[in-house]
Amino acid sequence: MPESTLYINGAWVASSDGAVREIRSPHDNSVVATVSEATAADTRDAIKAARDSFDSGVYASWSMKDRCALVEKVADLIKRDAEILASLETRDTGKRMVETRYDMADIEATFRHFAALGLKLKDRKVDVGADNISSVITHEAVGVCALIGPWNYPLLQISWKVAPALVAGCSFIVKPSELSPSTAIHLMKLLEEAGLPQGVANLICGAGATAGAPLTEDPRVDLVSFTGGLVTGRRIMATAAQTVKKVALELGGKNPHIIFENSNIDAAIDNAVTGAFLHSGQVCSAGTRVLVEKSIHDRVVAEIVRRAKAIYVGGPEDPRTETGPLISKEHLGKVEAYMHDAEKDGATILVGGSRIDREDLNKGWYFPPTVIDNCLSKMKCVQDESFGPIMTIETFESVDEAIALGNDTIYGLSGALWCDDKKIADRVAAALRHGTIWVNDFGPYRPQAEWGGFKASGVGRELGEAGLDEYLEIKHIWTNNKPARSGWFADPS
Ligand code: TXE
């Protein structure tokens, strides 16, 4: 009997129609887990549990101090179980343990950040210029939240939502990606152990269209926070509009990585290779669009190609592995299709470009680091988020051109630039319309700093202080301590 993996109203239950889903390793397509596949009715049960628990005040009425203490306890439990969580995530995603261990440390830090932030939240008194009036701005939980996550950083992305929702006092339904639900299942056990009252946290496993969609349609849900692809994000926003839900969306990016001649070129190249090929490009902030000053193009490209060729692609158990598989056969197909587009558009594939043919990898979804030169801004391989290990290279000849190219995208999540001239670096950083800009660096983020996108990269921010605001309603309470008539209309008596 497979484990019952839906967590609804404090109980572990199977799907109401008994359906299950096999979770398969991207490394060799073996079955690594079998989980319950929720029906729309199961999702509605989870929404009811969350709504009832929120309306009862069973958790929302806890003091902020008590909620933050619970969130700290969850951080402790994540630390305790970090090795279990990392191995579950490695199993689901094919990512090396060294990487999933990093993720678990970040997740613990995320819970601790929000616990500390909650304690700083204060009411604000407004001076309305009258002694008899008390005007106070307070914060309270937004209500019932649907927290929908992707497969590339499964528990990390869910934590960015769960931790602030807990601090705010929300009830919620977590919907992890159907491809990688194992760590979200374990997280529910930790929330239970930490003492979260029944019904506050609920978990639905299953397909987006059946198990996920009701979360975005149901009037009992107040907020949908979603991390995933642009197409799904648009659909969720449109659906959520019918019941005027709040939405928070993180929809990926097509992130420029700009290298000026006057920079530490060796560090720039090394970071460009990391930025494009880390986790085989399955990163929302992947710096897959390299823009290089024309004068150094040949030198930079030759070195990038040399480095890309040397990256060891392999399974999570192989100690030589530097990057792993793509998440699924479908995703591999999508990434492969970009090769055809690139060649048709006249770009040049310098390295990689076709599925890896190696005996130890033939059962999995492996695509090599791929470098495409002679790209133009309008090309599909440059504009689309491939979410694979594909680096495209374009050149620029002036600062203005670098800025224009860096902004020539519908997305706006992140960007990096390498330049030793501080004036130029500041100008470019200010002009790029992306939510995070790295200057002479690539990739770091901290839970204390906001994360999110301009333009089609999304709506709202996670992490930082704004990441808690998403889960709070603001209320203005005006009290007149000397009640009096308004006197607006004449009193006929
Ligand atoms: O994600 P989806 P997919 C990008 C990346 C990738 C593309 C598609 O470019 O190639 O998205 O990936 C749930 N109502 N990113 O198809 O569909 C779904 O079950 C409610 C960028 O795997 O966006 C899963 O839990 N939920 C990204 C989640 O949405 C629905 C990370 C994400 O699935 C739903 C991942 C619906 N109608 C992919 N349809 C990033 N921003 O980092 C699907 N879901």
Q: pLDDT tens, 380-419?
A: 999 999 999 999 999 999 999 999 999 999 999 999 999 9
Model pLDDT, residue 1: 54
Question: What are the tokens at 105?
Answer: 């440390």
The CA-based dihedral angle spanning residues 332, 462, 90, 179, taken in that order and rounded to the nearest 10 degrees: -50
In this structure, the residue with its CA closest to atom 15 of ligand 1 is: 229
Residues whose CB is less than 8 angstroms from the CB of residue 165 and which lie 6 or more positions away in sequence, other chains included: 145, 147, 172, 471
What confidence tier does 22 reach under pLDDT thresholds 50, 70, 90?
very high
Give the strand pairing for 6-8 and 11-13: antiparallel
Beta strands in 142-284 (DSSP E): 144-148, 171-175, 201-203, 223-227, 246-250, 256-259
Task: Determine the residue type at 95.
Answer: K
Q: Specify whether the CB–CB gap between 475 and 141 falls below 8 A.
A: no
Q: Specify whether the CB–CB gap between 77 and 84 falls below 8 A.
A: no
Helix (H, G, I), strand (E, B) or coil at 203: strand
List residues near ligand 1 (CB under 6 A). Answer: 148-152, 175, 177-178, 208-209, 212-213, 215-216, 227-229, 232, 235-236, 250-252, 284, 385, 387
Distances (CA, A) of 250 to 47, 77, 202, 262: 22, 27, 22, 33
Query: Which of these is catalytic: 37, 72, 99, 250?
Result: 250
180 CA distance to ligand 1 centroid (A)?
12
For the chain, give the number of residues.
Answer: 493
- DSSP 8-state assignment for residue 267: H
Q: Mean pLDDT throughout 422-437?
A: 98
Q: Which atom of ligand 1 is nearest to the CA of 457?
A: 41
293 CA distance to ligand 1 centroid (A)?
35
Q: What burial class does residue 407 get, using C-beta atoms within 10 Å of its C-beta: 0-12 exposed, 13-18 middle, 19+ buried? A: middle
Distance CA 467, CA 449 (A): 9
Residues whose CB is less than 8 angstroms from the CB of residue 289 and which lie 6 or more positions away in sequence, other chains included: 254, 255, 256, 257, 382, 391, 392, 394, 409
Q: Which atom of ligand 1 is nearest to the CA of 151?
A: 35
Residues whose CB is less than 8 angstroms from the CB of residue 124 and which lie 6 or more positions away in sequence, other chains included: 136, 137
Q: Which atom of ligand 1 is nearest to the CA of 253?
A: 41
Q: pLDDT tens for residues 45-63? A: 999 999 999 999 999 999 9
Whether 256-439 and 6-251+457-478 are alike in CATH topology: the answer is: no
**247 phi and psi, to 5 degrees?**
-130, 140
Question: What are the tokens at 78?
Answer: 């994540």
250 is known as an active-site residue: yes
Reported as type and span, the H/E element at residue 406 is: helix 399-407
159 CA distance to ligand 1 centroid (A)?
17
229 CA distance to ligand 1 centroid (A)?
4
Question: What are the tokens at 297?
Answer: 């193009």
Distance CA 216, CA 225 (A): 10
Question: What are the tokens at 80?
Answer: 């305790």
Q: Mean pLDDT throughout 115-135?
A: 97
Q: Specify whether the CB–CB gap between 101 and 86 falls below 8 A.
A: yes
Model pLDDT, residue 155: 98
Q: Mean pLDDT throughout 307-323?
A: 98
Tell me the CATH architecture of domain 256-439: 3-Layer(aba) Sandwich (3.40)
The residue ranges of every structural domain in the chain are 6-251+457-478, 256-439
Nearest to 470 by CA among 168, 122, 69: 168
Q: Which atom of ligand 1 is nearest to the CA of 250?
A: 41
Question: What are the tokens at 426?
Answer: 């500041």
Which residues, in sequence order, are bridge partners of residue 235?
none
Check pLDDT > 70 for residue 107: yes
Q: What angle do CA 232, 238, 242 make, to 5 degrees?
A: 140
240 CA distance to ligand 1 centroid (A)?
16
Sign of CA dihedral 333, 335, 341, 343: negative
Q: Mean pLDDT throughout 333-337?
A: 97
- The 10 Å Cβ neighbour count of residue 402 is 26
Model pLDDT, residue 336: 97
Residue recorded with tokens 């670096």: 425
In this structure, the residue with its CA closest to atom 14 of ligand 1 is: 213
Q: pLDDT tens for residues 226-271? A: 999 999 999 999 999 999 999 999 999 999 999 999 999 999 999 9
Model pLDDT, residue 2: 63
Best mutation site among 177, 178, 232, 386 for ligand 1, i.e. most ligand atoms within 8 A of its Cβ?
A: 232
Helix (H, G, I), strand (E, B) or coil at 42: helix
Model pLDDT, residue 3: 79
In this structure, the residue with its CA closest to atom 17 of ligand 1 is: 232
Distances (CA, A) of 45 to 39, 174, 178, 202: 10, 13, 19, 10
Please give the CATH number for the structural domain made up of 6-251+457-478.
3.40.605.10
67 CA distance to ligand 1 centroid (A)?
30
Q: Specify whether the CB–CB gap between 245 and 403 falls below 8 A.
A: no
Task: Determine the residue type at 89.
Answer: E
In this structure, the residue with its CA closest to atom 35 of ligand 1 is: 228
Average pLDDT over all residues of the chain: 98
Q: Which atom of ligand 1 is nearest to the CA of 413?
A: 41
Nearest to 274 by CA among 291, 262, 259, 257: 257
